[in-house]
């Protein structure tokens, strides 16, 4: 899909919801005033339309995948990749999605009460995910890097204050399961992210972004539960055996 300054903003967002992020970041209305072209909106806002077009190209056609397969990464490199890719994604999308869902609940909640519940569930998820990621970044992931340094230097591993990596990992897996259940409920309430026929662009974008968020969360959890955590436990076991 070629993006030009003559593209109608509302039509572009309807065709690819990811464009909404670019417009929202620049305070360009894609909903009620979505019948304008990109060029017209940029002229009105006195924004460089080429910068907007480049940003749209990046968000729609850009790629964000690792060059190496995650299963081939060392535990510390994989932990860094998860932070840079998935934690950063969550931190960026949380406030944006919260704002959209709050607006949809306020405008459409009377006739579509499920959007109020969806908003409540996502608010709860946002708070839990923020704390969850901080615990990984401040407790588990630094220990993984510490283990890799011990392996490289041949020095004994200093036992962590939490006893063994299995303890925070079990906590993380439990929290993953909680979020999985929460998003299953959101998917059910939203009819698998299918907006009603009367939905406005904001309504449609919020559902599309929710679905993308869930897809990213599934990959995020998969990388940790099925690849990173087993690697970390295996590494810890090897280091403990060497020190005995």
- For 122-134, what is each residue's pLDDT tens digit? 999 999 999 999 9
- What angle is formed at CA 36 by the lines to CA 35 and CA 42, rounded to 5 degrees? 150
CB 123 within 8 A of CB 98: yes
What confidence score (pLDDT) does residue 65 get?
A: 47
What's the alpha-carbon Rg for the chain, to the nearest Å?
22
Each residue of 199-233: b (16+ CB within 10 Å) or e? bbbbbbbbbbbbbbbbeebeebbebbeebbbebbe
| Model confidence pLDDT, tens digit, residues 39-86 | 999 999 999 999 999 999 998 887 544 455 778 899 999 999 999 999
Rounded distance between C-alpha atoms, residue 165 and residue 155, angstroms: 18
d(CA 209, CA 215) in angstroms, rounded, equals: 10
Q: 102: Cβ–Cβ under 8 A, 6 or more apart, which residues?
A: 119
Cα distances from 101 to residues 10, 52, 191, 193, in angstroms, run 19, 25, 16, 13
pTM of the model as a whole: 0.79
- State whether the Cα torsion 38-44-48-51 is positive or negative: negative
């Amino acid at each position: 899909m070629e993006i030009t300054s003559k593209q109608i903003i509302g039509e572009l967002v309807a065709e690819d919801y990811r464009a909404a992020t670019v417009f929202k970041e620049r305070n360009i209305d894609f909903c009620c005033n979505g019948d304008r072209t990109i060029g017209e909106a940029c002229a009105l806002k006195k924004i460089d339309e080429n910068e907007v077009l480049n940003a749209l190209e990046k968000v729609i056609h850009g790629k964000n995948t690792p060059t190496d397969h995650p299963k081939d990464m060392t535990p510390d490199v994989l932990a860094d990749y998860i932070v840079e890719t998935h934690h950063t994604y969550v931190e960026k999308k949380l406030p944006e999605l919260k704002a959209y869902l709050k607006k949809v609940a306020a405008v459409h909640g009377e006739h579509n009460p499920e959007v109020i519940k969806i908003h409540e569930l996502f608010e709860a998820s946002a708070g839990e995910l923020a704390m969850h990621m901080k615990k990984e970044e401040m407790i588990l992931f630094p220990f993984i890097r510490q283990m890799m340094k011990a392996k490289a230097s041949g020095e004994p591993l200093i036992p962590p204050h939490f006893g063994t990596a299995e303890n925070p990992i079990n906590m993380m897996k439990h929290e993953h399961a909680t979020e999985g259940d929460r998003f299953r409920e959101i998917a059910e309430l939203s009819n698998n992210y299918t907006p009603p026929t009367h939905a406005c662009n904001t309504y449609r974008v919020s559902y599309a972004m929710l679905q993308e968020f869930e897809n990213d969360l599934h990959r995020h959890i998969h990388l940790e539960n099925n690849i990173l955590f087993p690697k970390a436990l295996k590494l810890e076991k090897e280091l403990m055996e060497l020190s005995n």
